[in-house]
């Protein structure tokens, strides 16, 4: 008997699930509400698509929180980053690894080409893709899947893979639909929160918008001068409303999880200790007595931010370094090592690259992605309580869990 499977959601997880299930001998229908597959992949990595992360899967897995990493272990070993790249390479798309381990298509190929390739990959095995098919509910009887509601009708199916994604960037089609259906069937959710999202500051400086700081450590504290609870090193981008870029995204989940207000500060010289920087600036001031405080501070920020940095340190830029009192020099060092950028008023969930929270992992079998609540139901991708860091980790989680769900659902 040929199993009939409905896959709901043609994103990263859904495409892999549909392909794998059809390859495993199932008759597969993929229902996608948009008129194309992979809308979120199209905007991934700024349109370039950070496909996955390089390295052994053990290392890739270790970047997730402990419970998520435990859950991902079987799927990450069953369907690896190399396995995914082979799909692309076999179909003529070259990829390269950036020095930080992030993997992208070799340009001019971009996210659009990735989606086109994967759309073909799904079609190769005869998956019946239905576009404009917005599912409105799941139907189960006595704890077993019996069908899917779409267009006012019920499509019968005893095996259903739900991969409707998260709820950020709702214009891409991910409006959190799956969570409503799953809770109605008895699944529970870890509360949804922003992750990999920009930070909106209480006193944002719109005129700094567009300025970027390279190789900066952004730290989060429980209020100004409070205990540090998260840090991330990389690029930092100022926006109209506050901060973005990998560092802001990297600390956003931890900030969003806290009820009290968080303060953020930038270490503009993360490779030096406070003492090393102080000795360095003092030496420069002595060796070049005419050097001003402004030129001592200039290497640490773009020109537009030099004056604000000096103001924050309480140091007049034109003061010759040689005449700078030790107290002022120390204040400059302290500001370079931890420039207070303000308090975070909001972390917008809808602007996140992923949503933290989702279906409780204990309710899903990590070997098969089969629901432990409803027979015949499989869950994969971002709908689960999984949110990795920036770097290709989230797409890898979707590729791997999708693959395993498709494989398991096709098994008789």
Ligand X SMILES: Cc1cc2nc3c(=O)[nH]c(=O)nc-3n(C[C@H](O)[C@H](O)[C@H](O)COP(=O)(O)OP(=O)(O)OC[C@H]3O[C@@H](n4cnc5c(N)ncnc54)[C@H](O)[C@@H]3O)c2cc1C
What is the binding site for ligand X (CB under 6 A)?
8-14, 31-34, 39-41, 43-45, 49-50, 133-135, 163-165, 168-169, 173-174, 177, 353-354, 381-382, 392-395, 398
- Give least dist CB 56 to ligand X, A: 18
> Based on CB atoms, which residue is closest to ligand X, 40 or 187?
40
Please state, in angstroms and rounded to a whole number, the distance separating the CA atoms of residues 36 and 48.
Answer: 18
Q: Exposed, middle or buried, 47 (CB in 10 Å: 0-12/13-18/19+)?
A: exposed
Could you tell me how far CA 328 lies from the centroid of its own chain? 40
- CB of 230 or CB of 356, closer to ligand X: 356
Nearer to ligand X by C-beta: 38 or 321? Answer: 38
Crossing angle of helices 274-287 and 326-337, in 10° steps, is 130
**Minimum Å distance from CB 96 to ligand X?**
14
Parallel/antiparallel/unpaired status of strands 95-97 and 27-31: unpaired
Backbone torsions φ then ψ of 292, nearest 5 degrees: -85, 165
What's 371's DSSP letter? Answer: B
Closest CB 383 distance from ligand X, rounded Å = 6
Smallest gap from residue 138 Cβ to ligand X (A): 10
Least Cβ distance, residue 69 to ligand X (angstroms): 16
CB proximity list for 291: less than 8 A, separation 6 or greater: 284, 285, 320, 321, 322
Q: Which is nearer to ligand X, 265 or 353 (CB)?
A: 353
Q: Give 147 or 321: the residue with its C-beta nearer to ligand X.
A: 147
> Which residues does residue 144 pair with via DSSP β-bridges, in sequence order?
141, 375
Complex with ligand X: residue 12 or 344, whichever CB lies closer = 12
Using an 8 Å Cβ cutoff, are 109 and 118 in contact?
no
> Token pair of 405, please?
């769900």
Whose Cβ is closer to ligand X: residue 135's or residue 266's? 135
Per-residue CA distances from 141 to 8, 338, 379 (Å): 19, 58, 18
Nearer residue to ligand X within complex by CB, 174 or 262 = 174
**CA 172 – CA 157 distance, rounded (Å):** 26
Least distance CB 124 / ligand X (angstroms): 19
Residue of this chain nearest to ligand X (CB atom): 11
CB of 32 to ligand X, least distance (A): 5
The answer to whether 47 touches 111, Cβ cutoff 8 Å, is yes
Of the two residues 10 and 234, which places its CB atom closer to ligand X in the complex? 10
Q: How far is the CB of 101 from ligand X (least distance, A)?
A: 12
* DSSP E strands, 255-399: 263-267, 339-346, 354-359, 377-379
Q: What is the DSSP string of 113-157?
A: HHHHHHHHHHHTTT-EEETT--EEEEEEETTEEEEEEETTEEEE-
CB of 356 to ligand X, least distance (A): 11
């Amino acid at each position: 008997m040929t199993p009939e499977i409905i896959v709901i959601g043609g994103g990263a997880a859904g495409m892999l699930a549909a392909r794998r299930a059809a390859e495993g001998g199932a008759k597969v229908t993929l229902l996608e509400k948009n008129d194309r597959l992979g809308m979120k992949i199209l905007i991934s990595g700024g349109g370039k698509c950070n496909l996955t992360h390089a390295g052994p899967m053990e290392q890739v897995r270790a970047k997730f929180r402990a419970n998520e990493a435990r859950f991902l272990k079987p799927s990450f070993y069953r369907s690896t980053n190399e396995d995914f790249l082979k799909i692309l390479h076999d179909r003529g798309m070259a990829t390269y690894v950036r020095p930080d381990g992030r993997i992208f298509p070799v340009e001019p190929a971009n996210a659009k080409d990735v989606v086109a390739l994967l759309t073909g990959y799904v079609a190769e095995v005869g998956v019946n893709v239905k576009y404009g098919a917005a599912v409105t509910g799941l139907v189960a009887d006595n704890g077993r899947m019996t069908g899917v509601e779409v267009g006012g009708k019920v499509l019968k199916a005893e095996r259903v893979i739900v991969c409707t994604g998260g709820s950020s960037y709702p214009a891409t089609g991910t409006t959190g639909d799956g969570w409503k259906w799953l809770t109605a069937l008895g699944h529970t959710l870890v509360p949804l929160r922003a992750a990999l999202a920009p930070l909106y500051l209480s006193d944002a400086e719109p005129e700094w918008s567009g300025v970027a700081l390279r190789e900066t450590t952004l730290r989060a504290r429980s209020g100004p001068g409070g205990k540090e609870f998260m840090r991330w090193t990389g690029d930092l981008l100022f926006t109209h409303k506050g901060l973005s870029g990998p560092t802001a995204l990297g600390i956003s989940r931890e900030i969003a999880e806290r009820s009290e207000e968080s303060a953020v500060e930038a270490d503009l010289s993360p490779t030096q200790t406070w003492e090393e920087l102080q000795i360095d600036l003092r030496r420069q001031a002595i060796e070049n007595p005419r050097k001003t405080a402004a030129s001592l501070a200039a290497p640490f920020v773009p020109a537009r931010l030099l004056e604000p940095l000096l103001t924050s340190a309480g140091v007049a830029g034109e003061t010759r370094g040689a005449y700078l009192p030790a107290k002022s020099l120390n204040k400059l060092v302290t500001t370079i090592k931890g420039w207070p950028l303000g308090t975070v008023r909001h972390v917008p969930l809808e602007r996140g690259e992923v949503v933290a929270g989702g279906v409780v992992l204990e309710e899903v079998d990590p070997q098969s992605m089969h629901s432990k609540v409803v027979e015949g139901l499989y869950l994969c991708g971002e709908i689960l309580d999984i949110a990795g860091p920036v770097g290709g980790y989230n797409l890898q989680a979707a590729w791997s869990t999708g693959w395993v769900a498709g494989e398991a659902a096709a098994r008789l």
